[in-house]
Structure 1
């Protein structure tokens, strides 16, 4: 049995954030990946999605300016756009594996399973280490209705050779909304079904409702309170039964289950290692250690804490590595971490939601700004844009920032900096911003 100082299971951003600093510190590290090095974000998540969004953004921007200086029509060539997307995806596995090898990390492709508190089996071979870190991420949740098992999911959308004419997305989260906007701008007829009247629950509810209206204005048929009751595959595509009593039947050429993801812990052998887990994933403490076996760490989406975002996986990995090198030396700080739904327009948030601040009993006001009426949005003929900033005037601080509109994904980074670094509100107000820019509008948001 080959021995290491640390075994890391999962070769995505979370696993890399653990393995790299440990190898650089001189530890003997083995990194095991089941399929391809790089992980979900660069291979079948954030990056390929954003590459496809490039075409959608260009079409939407050009369409908005028709009659205001532009003429003619721009359209998406789906096959060309997919080739463009693959130009980012295809090089990743080999480059990532080589980068790990260059750091002295042993890499292995195979299915890993815990067979003891300090032992991992990979395709019939066994390896041991005093510390094991699990970074296997999540997998799509099955749709729990008749016919829902085996439905196409996000990976299937990202692999479409041709774009279906009629598409139904089931779900009200990041994936459903982002893919709906991509498909619509690429020319598909799109329907989005959500089981309740609330979508994108991680974000400000006032702005999510505004995004629903923006989505409908873009031609997406957003149906709220439309739980799916059954799925039928037909000769021509799909028939989706929805509504509280199953009173509605919708037909589409393709339908995608985008109802959520769950920790990919099946077959991982957690019980053999005494690792506690639940519906939300592996139970960990603030140092990213398993609460039941402190020699095992869980990082990224497979852990039961923190939002499922790539930057969160990275900081969790850094904390795990620090604690392996120097026990009990680091804890994860989730303050001010920004999140973005890359719709058109994008929706972003950082810090506390209004409901969070109320629950904490904080003294705050909400400053709401109509961005669509401001020059930097009007010049692009943007119809939707709003900011809602939570301000604690007596405490001289910004508690939360929530933005819908063009460039929201960049503006939110400024607020994330302010909130995480606890920059006083008064100092932010003193800042001089470049004009005319979207960032300049911060002076009117505070």
Structure 2
């Protein structure tokens, strides 16, 4: 694989990498990862790139959602099913409301590592390595758990494989059948948003019965495409799982269909941008409020020099108070260059707060406001608002403030389960999808 320059990243600064405790364990783990079967396949990756190209031209919409940081212990059938169910429900709301195909993508089967602001965490008089995700160390605050153990990369691979196995079973084995839209809602608590969803499900039922009466029995109604994504953070995981496809003779990162580069690792002269520029996967880049037009254009030149439709997605994370001021400059600058990346919004990461009782949280109203700002900017410029990137769970956690359940600071203590950043729960996710559907309808009317 040397002819592709895949190892050039070794000559560059690689930020946010753990200091592994045992070099021999690391070497052995990388050697094993280099020989295991791929998690995803080149044909699937190529299909996703085609789908994203459609979204970039306004003919589809990307819904990307899942855990902030997956954990090994939570990779259970029930929790994976609930996350898939939530994404499917959101997608149905978006499709039915907007009449657009929705590309369904999970932050799943690989989101086991997180960047940190410091290499260490101190509690009282004890200082230990920071928790960097289950692929690196464990969340419990003791010396053994916080050891950066490279053998955990192998566990991340196996957990991703089992997660993908369930995803494929659920989305092709009848669970995703549109005739089951009512069943997806079973087990969730009574809520006004649930009632709105049930009303929509009844409309879909009527439409399905009408199509059956007309003799329509399409496979697309019984199963769905579902892609997986994660932040391409750990070079000791991504590089060994890169393969040369026998059909295209090109390198693919087989750790996931879609890989994104974070705000902290998108340096043009850094290892992450250099390495991922050489694989065929569609790529995302997080852009915060300090991103300049020159930054965006340089990233396009590096990651998408051929201006290939579907290759590059810009994931903006500006914050509700800044998106209306900062996003227009980026979109106009990129449009003037002739490039057409897919623009999607991450309304989570720019809106973090710490509550008085010490919880990391986000206000649902701020999340919704950033989404509104994203659509307003695109409508004003006549460009395509192409997708939504959210941290969510299918469980009834209490991590983000507000929403139709009126979660307040006191309620955060009831079920705050995230090991990293706060996630929207099932109801908040569904509520957000109705808002986005309304915005998509307004956008289509404005462009008609």
TM range (shorter): under 0.3
Query: Normalising by structure 1, what TM-score?
Result: 0.25
Higher RCO (C-alpha under 8 Å, 6+ residues apart)? 2
Greater strand fraction, Structure 1 or Structure 2: 1
More helix by percentage: 2
Higher Rg of the two aligned structures: 1
